[in-house]
Structure 1
Amino acid sequence: MIDSIIIENNNETIFDKDPDIAEIDECGTQDFYTSFIHRSFNGWYKEQIFDNFKIGYGVLNGADKRRIRFNSNQETIGMIFILEGSLSMNINTPLYTNHFETNEHNIFHYTSAKDAIEITDNTVSIVRINFTVNFFNQFLPEDHKFENFRKQIKLHKTRTLEKQNAQISPKMHLIIDNILNSKRKGFYRKINMNALVFELLLLQLDTFNQGTQKEAHICDTKKIIKIKEFLDHSFTQPMTLEFLCKKFGTNEFALKKGFKATFGNTVFGYISDLKMHKARNLLIENNISIGDVSEIIGYKNAQHFSTAFKKKFGLTPSKFISCNQKDI
């Protein structure tokens, strides 16, 4: 685990503490959770430590232009994914810097994990998966593409696999989402995480083997994510693919393929799911008519709404209200 996390401002140490929560399950997996709150920023960092790797995930809000130091006395290989924000990673011994923007990834070899992160955005979300060097070396291909990285590892030099970071592909996003949101416990979690982590490593190595300039996806993932975020707040409004393409600078083919690959649903399927869950919550929490609910979520025809609701939940809205009142 990380020995300490230190946040500095003008050389003043603001935060340095041990994890708030530490747990061990029946198969020896360790879970650590650290939160930190300051008058101008807040954040948290989670770690899951398995036999051959550990998964870390953290979010920091309001820490623009601050430095964070993670101290650990282990030589390690780290898979780095920046889900949101931008930062520069400065490895102190020896000095080595790599700048990351949103939706970029790379693989680091740390001679020690005494690294400093320079935050250059208000909110940063990062995923780190670390292996021991000996374990990772078993899975580093003999391809010529990885020869220099292998040499740097043998010489105990801190380096990234490639100088230029690569874009996180839609398939990588799905795997990362499964890793971070898995509900499995004990040995089932251990099996699941091993499968997901190695699939993610395979995709990383395959991406760098092909070259960082080649996109592993059809539509730029940043645009797809922004479209999804827009829909989350505007799903009750009339929507067309043409409108979304013009607004976010893409084309219909790329939008359809990219959205389905990233989120496992079509654009309109996703909008429909948002509407139905909103309708269900309105019917449960408010004394409101079915016609009003239909209008609120953007249906002009209440019968069309009832048909869509039954298709999603197996009950008409009126039957759903009746069953819910009986439960109360």
Structure 2
Amino acid sequence: MDDIQISHNIIDYHSFETTKFADDTNFVRLHIGLGGSYDFNFKQINRSFLLSGYHNNIMYSDGLDIEVHNNTKRIETLGINFSTNTFIEIGQNGNEPLKRFTDKVINRKNCILSDEWKTNNFKIRQVLREIIDCTYNDQLRNLFLLSKSIELLVLQAELHEHQNSNKTIKSGRDKQKLIEAREFLSYRIDNPPTIVELSKQVGVNEYKLKKGFKELFGTTVFGYIHKTRMFMAKQLLLETGKPSKEIAYETGYSSPQHFSNAFKKEFGISPNCVRNNPDSVTKALKNSSNLDFNQMKKL
């Protein structure tokens, strides 16, 4: 688009090496990690970071001169570059962290939103997936990607709204263990472990697991399980021909009735309504912030 560039990057390396990137562009850059581990040196802000897993930050630089040393054989990232004028128009109406950042952009001062790279929460991961999977064409595609780019900016700024000085997670090692806990839950979503089992699996005590998980991902362990199950169920109902009974068991519910009650409470419609009454589904999708434009279009 004219004022926004979006790139989804998957880089496979044959060895562990340092790669340099340089250009003279002037952008506000949303940098989101989707996988892999790497050392990241940003000359313009004179900072170096060790990044891994799912992370994000916002940076501004007049020109770009960076070095990346891969610590894994694959790195996956997504980047959104806003022109300075477009970003300033949006950012000066944001929350306090975003306003402070925007003031630096206005004064052409190279900067980063936060020294702490935040972990991609559930909402951010959903928007990222919507961007990557976008199937709109032509002008609708640009409009959709514009709206999602702004939504992603808002969600990132929201992560920095309240800085908590009494954080439970203070070391990179603990943070990595919680990321492992979330990934383990994702693989076992149909039969998730108990808190005790998960605590032993990743090697972190129960208190730190429960409090740190909420601190890092913006939801409880059980909240993450519920949201992931609902997202999976929604996708299966809309994109496959599987009966709702089969989907209920596949997503870990003990009975179709329990699944139906949970789905209706989350989205305002029953699973069967998705199949039997498309018009009602379309209306519900429009009224639900939990569902995305891709599924709306597919209906």
Task: Give the TM interval when normalised to the shorter protein.
Answer: 0.5 to 0.7
Residue 80 in 1 paired to residue 31 in 2? Answer: yes
Q: 1:132 to 1:240 in 2, by over 3 A?
A: closer
Whose relative contact order is higher, 1 or 2, with alpha carbons under 8 Å and at least 6 apart?
2
Residues 1-328 of structure 1 mapped to structure 2, 5 A cutoff: 50-62=1-13, 65-93=16-44, 95-141=46-92, 144-146=96-98, 149-211=101-163, 223-230=181-188, 239=191, 241-242=193-194, 245=198, 247=201, 254-261=220-227, 263=228, 265=230
For structure 2, the residue ranges without an aligned partner over 5 or more in a row are: 169-177, 211-218, 244-249, 251-255, 257-271, 276-299
> Could you tell which deviates more after superposition, 176-185 or 140-149?
140-149
Distance between the aligned counterparts of 2:221 and 2:229, measured in 1? Answer: 13
Counterpart code for 1:192: F
Deviation at 1:169, TM superposition (A): 1.1
Counterpart code for 1:195: S
Higher percent of residues as strand: 1
Larger Rg over CA atoms: 1
Deviation at 1:83, TM superposition (A): 1.3
Deviation at 1:186, TM superposition (A): 0.7
Contact 1:91–1:114, Cα closer than 8 Å, also in 2: yes
Q: 1:141 to 1:150 in 2, by over 3 A?
A: closer
Distance between the aligned counterparts of 2:87 and 2:54, measured in 1? Answer: 24
Distance between the aligned counterparts of 2:230 and 2:55, measured in 1? Answer: 23
Q: 1:241 to 1:94 in 2, by over 3 A?
A: closer
Deviation at 1:240, TM superposition (A): 5.2
Question: TM-score of the superposition, structure 2-length normalised?
Answer: 0.61
Deviation at 1:106, TM superposition (A): 0.5
Contact 1:96–1:158, Cα closer than 8 Å, also in 2: no
Q: 1:140 to 1:266 in 2, by over 3 A?
A: closer
Q: 1:241 to 1:113 in 2, by over 3 A?
A: same
Q: 1:198 to 1:145 in 2, by over 3 A?
A: closer
Distance between the aligned counterparts of 2:164 and 2:116, measured in 1? Answer: 7
User: C-alpha offsets along residues 55-93 of structure 1, whole Å, 9 cap, x if unaligned?
Assistant: 111112345632233333211110011111222322234
Question: TM-score of the superposition, structure 1-length normalised?
Answer: 0.56
Query: Corresponding residue for 2:269?
Result: none
Deviation at 1:98, TM superposition (A): 3.1
Count of aligned positions: 228
> Could you tell which deviates more after superposition, 156-165 or 204-213?
204-213
Counterpart code for 2:225: F
User: C-alpha offsets along residues 128-168 of structure 1, whole Å, 9 cap, x if unaligned?
Assistant: 11011121111223665456534543453432111111121
Alignment RMSD (CA, Å) = 4.3
